[in-house]
Amino acid sequence: MKLSSQRKGYMYRLITETMMGEYLPEKEITGEKAYWLDRGLEMEAPARASFERDTKMEIEPIGFVMTNDEKLGCSPDGLIVGSNEKEAIEIKSPAPWTHVAYLLAAKTEETWQRYRCQVQGQILIGQFEAVHFYSYHPDWPPKYVQTLPDLKFQPILRQALDDFVGEMEEELKRAREMREKWLGSVGRELRGTGPGPWGHG
């Protein structure tokens, strides 16, 4: 029997509910799909303050970062002051069960594999020497990881991103041609012809 890929995630959710002594309903079920995203934004300031207090490092703002050809982009949550713009930070303020997954999951589990691709992508696109990952929840200890460039994984990720961009451009061309033909038939002007970049976290 093949175990469900969602097995561990559900396990972390049950662990969280047990330890917090409360039922944590899926916000999708209750109709509040953006609940945890909104909460993450509300928690951004205390999460930053917690990181700076715990690590004795300061964070400065950063905008959207793009590769030189402007085909790939990423949006770290900030730069580490004094790093000469070579170290970025990714801050999470997720649902409690997601935070517990960050605390308990092994590096081989899907939770960290998703994180690995996001952070290594930021390193690749921004040419950073390190990205700091910090997950925050007010009722749990934080999870802090500093990630350096993975020289074996970076070429694999670069190829995957290049393949994605190439396929995306071909499909975009097809979609534009299809839409332009239809708009011409109904006498409307074509809009939305700008290129990427395609974001990465």
Can you list the positions of beta strands (E) in the chain? 59-60, 65-66, 72-74, 78-80, 87-92, 130-135, 143-147, 198-199
Task: Tell me which residue range forms the domain holding 124.
Answer: 7-155
Dump pLDDT digits (tens) for 108-151: 777 777 788 889 999 999 999 999 999 999 999 999 999 999 99
For the chain, residues with pLDDT lower than 70 are 1-8, 10-11, 14-20, 22-34, 187-201
Residue 87 lies in a domain: yes
Give the CATH number of the domain where residue 103 resides: 3.90.320.10
Q: Residue 106: its pLDDT value, please?
A: 80
Q: Residue 1: its pLDDT value, please?
A: 39
Residue 48 lies in a domain: yes
Look at the chain and report how many structural domains it folds into.
1
Q: Residue 183: its pLDDT value, please?
A: 80
Residue 103 lies in a domain: yes
Residue 177 lies in a domain: no
Residue pair 90/131 in contact by the 8 Å Cβ criterion: yes
Residue 19 lies in a domain: yes
Say how far apart CA 128 and CA 120 lie, in whole Å.
Answer: 9
Residue 150 lies in a domain: yes
Residue pair 67/197 in contact by the 8 Å Cβ criterion: yes
Residue 82 lies in a domain: yes
The letter for the amino acid at 24 is: L
Residue 75 lies in a domain: yes
Q: Residue 4: its pLDDT value, please?
A: 53
Four-residue CA torsion sign, 44, 49, 54, 59:
positive
